[in-house]
Amino acid sequence: MEVWLTLCIQEGCGMKNSIHVGLNKLSKLYYKILTKFYIKRVDIIIDIGCGTRPQTFFVPYIHNCIDPYKPYIDAIANSTIDTLDRIWIFNQGDWVKSIEIMKSGNINSVFLLDVIEHLDKDESLKLLKETEKLVSDQIIVYTPYGYFDQVECDGKDAWGMDGVEFQKHKSGWYPEDFGEGWKVWVLPYAHIVNSMNEPIKPSSAILAIYNKR
């Protein structure tokens, strides 16, 4: 495992909010550069736990979106109905179902963006190992650094939908949780607001990429 600590500026809540915003923009820019440089452009992907926002790093030939909450999947399907740049496949299901899909055919890369923190760590680690065996190119993970509490507003999620049950965080992650074959970057100031867009003490995020070949 390679761990690259980036943008190592002391985080604290005593700084002016405008500085937080500036550092957050810098963190996002660095994240964009990293993902552009390290994520392979492949043909077939599974976007696990995509919510209402499937990955936008590149356009694959086949983009398989899977999420346990059907209204999220329906929202993507409706918004992409006229999109002709790829083949979209929509499935309601969880990570376990994704693994069953992977067993039935070749999948180049798997995206787990803001997903693993929603499961117990032991379960996520087991599923990560299984995914490592089945993927042919990469696994891309993005998750908060450490435990990041998720808030809700009047029983609604950040999109005003009833998916709160699926948005709860159950685990916190650190670079050492990823093993051999992984590159890991820590990005400070990745989070300066919570899911309700309310200011919080800045916190970091992890970008982890597994390369099969």
Q: How close are the terminal C-alpha atoms of the chain, in Å?
A: 15
The percent of the chain in helix, strand and coil, each rounded to the nearest 5, is: 30, 30, 40
Q: Which helix (H) or strand (E) holds 22?
A: helix 17-38
What is the pLDDT averaged over residues 22-26? 84
Q: How many domains does the chain have?
A: 1
Confidence of residue 200 (pLDDT cuts 50, 70, 90): confident
What is the pLDDT averaged over residues 64-68? 96
Which of the pair, 122 or 17, is modelled with greater confidence? Answer: 122
Per the structure, the complete domain to which residue 38 belongs is given by 2-211
Sheet holding 138-144, edge to edge: 2-5, 182-193, 199-211, 138-144, 109-113, 44-48, 62-67, 87-92
Write the pLDDT tens digit of every residue in 122-178.
999 999 999 999 999 999 999 999 988 776 666 676 666 655 676 788 999 999 999
**Residue 47 belongs to a domain with what CATH number?**
3.40.50.150
